[in-house]
Amino acid sequence: MKLEESLFNWLQIHMVAEARPGDLAAKETVRFFEDILTEDHGVTELAISAQDTTMIHIRYTINGKTKMQMFGREQAEQLFSDIDSNPKYH
């Protein structure tokens, strides 16, 4: 999986886990993507660094260099929206 895809997947499930603190599957999936980012891409630090009405910024470190990736807020929130709108997950 490419770095950008891994970051986006982590962001989406991280947002789900934050919004649903009792969702153990979401928390396990966050750890899964953190493992991919660490083991496959060498990411050592990872965090949402900023958010505004249109973008979410992720700051991460690889090989001692801090980098930033931005994703559209609407796309990043889509997974949570899909889960939240499905009565099966309530």
Q: What is the mean pLDDT of residues 4-15?
A: 97
Task: For residue 48, give the nearest of 12, 19, 5, 74 by alpha carbon.
Answer: 12
Give yes or no for residue 90 having a pLDDT over 70: no
Cα 18 to Cα 81: distance, rounded to the nearest angstrom: 13
C-beta neighbour count of 2 within 10 angstroms: 9
Q: Which pLDDT band, with edges at 50, 70 and 90, does 89 fall under?
A: low
Distance CA 25, CA 57 (A): 24
Mean pLDDT of 58-81: 96
In 1-90, alpha helices (H): 3-19, 24-41, 73-76, 78-84
- 54: pLDDT confidence band, cut at 50, 70 and 90? very high
Q: Is 18 exposed, middle or buried (0-12, 13-18, 19+ CB in 10 A)?
A: middle
State residue 85's pLDDT score.
Answer: 84
